[in-house]
């Protein structure tokens, strides 16, 4: 039995059946911004491996970091022990975020779980019984139980689990558009926080761009008001920067568009440049001090692979690589090309909207029945994308060549055109 037969019979792929109902492509290797299939085709990766491979694949500096670390210490438990790479990484994250206290964990979903638990501990340490969370409609924060409970209960991919999850409070998401009027959403936010201030421990949101809930780009003014209201009611503001962090929107972290600092931030995806699974929850000193100095005293969470030295080492190398390059200029250039090329999709009859920011380019269709056909067309023409619902989108590595980026968007548009001509 070859490995593809094993995959077909035994491997359960994400958001899929077993055997898979959709075509699974056999990858032989990756390099720079290309995926090479065992069947001989080369695909431009328009997804940067679910938005994580910000430097592309097989980067020499990241490879070297792993090779060096594996000879020194591939892993060590983090309970009661410390190691240099984790300390160096934590210092970098403190300097980048302006926050103080770093909890290193396994994945983005886990970092959200830890953030929610931390918010509850914070309120409990102050003698308050505040166990609910406020989140936005269209929110997506991960696949684990706590994370799912703060995803949109009606429109998210996790609505099927609704009766099993903790019940939280949801508020209107700000309207689409970086400069759009968000006053109605702000008014509802203020009313809900005033009404529920004695039971809400934290307000969690994806700053500037709501990702898997619709690739919804919104006005930074909403973040400013959210920060103001959370401070007023002693509700922790939790910024989920897993998808937006490390430059995806044109700022190192999307909160910078509003010049605000959350109480808690979750990060992942681009943290290791797409090499290793790793994430982090970072809090203000106030949050960690109040918990640590209370009767509770500790943060009760401890993943087995927390602070893995290999992941810390490659994360350090990835952050150094980002900071030593003119990544802002690269992202601005990508944004400009997305703007130019996406303009050509606006008048297509199947298209409802186009939008972009940083390295994110989105075409929203009027119907959600075309995803597989569009993916098949793009793959047949040398581009790897993974549409979902009504969204055909791309989030690329900062190292992508201009010609490849233009081909991505042109191929997406041609795929939609091919449907219109059927």
Residue 70, number of CB atoms within 10 A of its CB:
13
- Is 164 among the residues known to form the active site? no
Please tell me which residue in 5, 15, 23, 167 is annotated as part of the active site. Answer: 15
Q: In what order do the strands lie in the sheet with 169-171?
A: 101-105, 279-283, 264-267, 236-240, 200-205, 132-136, 169-171
Known catalytic membership, residue 370: no
Q: What angle do CA 270, 274, 277 make, to 5 degrees?
A: 95
CA pair distance 159, 164, nearest whole angstrom:
10
Edge-to-edge strands, sheet with 27-31: 27-31, 34-37, 42-45, 383-384
SS3 category, 40: coil
Contacts of 186 (CB under 8 A, 6+ apart): 174, 221, 222, 225
- Rounded to the nearest 10°, the torsion over CA 117, 274, 354, 238 is 20
Is 15 among the catalytic positions?
A: yes
> Of all helices (H) and strands (E), which one includes residue 95?
helix 84-97
Q: Which of 140, 370, 393, 398 is catalytic?
A: 140
> Which sign, positive or negative, has the C-alpha torsion 121, 125, 129, 135?
negative
Residue 79's contacts (CB-CB under 8 Å, 6 or more residues apart) are 302
Name the token pair of 404. Answer: 């490849």
Residue 327, CB half-sphere, CA atoms under 13 Å: how many? 22
- What's the burial of 295, exposed, middle or buried (CB within 10 Å: 0-12/13-18/19+)? exposed
45, 106, 152, 240: the active-site residue: 240
- For residue 136, report the phi and psi dihedrals to the nearest 5 degrees: -90, 150
Candidate list 124, 251, 269, 390, residue with the active-site label: 269
Rounded to the nearest 10°, the torsion over CA 403, 405, 413, 214 is: 180
Active site residue 140: yes
| Chain centroid offset of residue 390 CA | 19
- Active site amino acids: 15, 140, 240, 269
């Amino acid at each position: 039995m070859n490995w593809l037969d094993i995959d077909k019979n035994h491997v359960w792929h994400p958001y899929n059946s077993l055997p898979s109902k959709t075509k699974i492509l056999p990858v032989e290797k990756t390099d720079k911004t290309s995926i090479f299939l065992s069947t001989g085709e080369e695909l431009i990766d328009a997804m940067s491996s679910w938005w994580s491979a910000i430097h592309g694949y097989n980067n020499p500096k990241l490879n070297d970091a792993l090779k060096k670390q594996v000879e020194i210490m591939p892993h060590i438990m983090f309970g009661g022990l410390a190691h240099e790479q984790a300390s160096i990484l934590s210092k970098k994250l403190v300097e980048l975020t302006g926050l103080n206290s770093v909890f290193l964990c396994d994945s983005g979903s886990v970092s959200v779980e830890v953030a929610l638990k931390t918010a509850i501990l914070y309120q409990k340490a102050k003698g308050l019984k505040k166990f609910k969370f406020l989140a936005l409609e269209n929110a997506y924060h991960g696949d684990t139980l706590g994370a799912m409970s703060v995803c949109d209960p009606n429109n998210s991919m996790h609505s099927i689990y609704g009766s099993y999850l903790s019940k939280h409070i949801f508020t209107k998401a700000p309207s689409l558009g970086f400069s759009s009027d968000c006053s109605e959403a702000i008014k509802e936010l203020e009313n809900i926080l005033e009404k529920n201030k004695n039971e809400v421990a934290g307000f969690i949101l994806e700053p500037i761009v709501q990702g898997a809930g619709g690739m919804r780009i919104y006005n930074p003014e909403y973040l400013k008001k959210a920060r103001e209201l959370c401070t007023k009611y002693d509700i922790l503001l939790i910024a989920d920067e897993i998808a937006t962090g490390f430059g995806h929107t044109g700022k190192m972290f999307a909160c910078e568009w509003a010049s605000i600092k959350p109480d808690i931030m979750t990060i992942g995806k681009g943290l290791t440049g797409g090499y290793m699974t790793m994430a982090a929850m970072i809090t203000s000193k106030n949050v960690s001090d109040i918990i640590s100095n209370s009767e509770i005293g500790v943060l009760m969470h401890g993943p087995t692979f927390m602070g893995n030295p290999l992941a810390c080492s490659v994360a350090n190398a990835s952050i150094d690589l980002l900071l030593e390059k003119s990544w802002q200029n690269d992202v601005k250039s990508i944004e400009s090309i997305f703007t130019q090329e996406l303009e050509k999709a606006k008048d297509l009859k199947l298209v409802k909207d186009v939008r972009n920011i940083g390295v994110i380019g989105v075409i929203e269709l009027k119907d959600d029945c075309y995803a597989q056909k569009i993916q098949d067309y793009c793959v047949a023409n040398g581009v790897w994308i993974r549409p979902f619902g009504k969204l055909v989108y791309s989030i690329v590595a900062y190292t992508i060549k201009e010609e490849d980026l233009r081909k991505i968007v042109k191929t997406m548009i041609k795929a939609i055109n091919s449907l219109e001509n059927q």
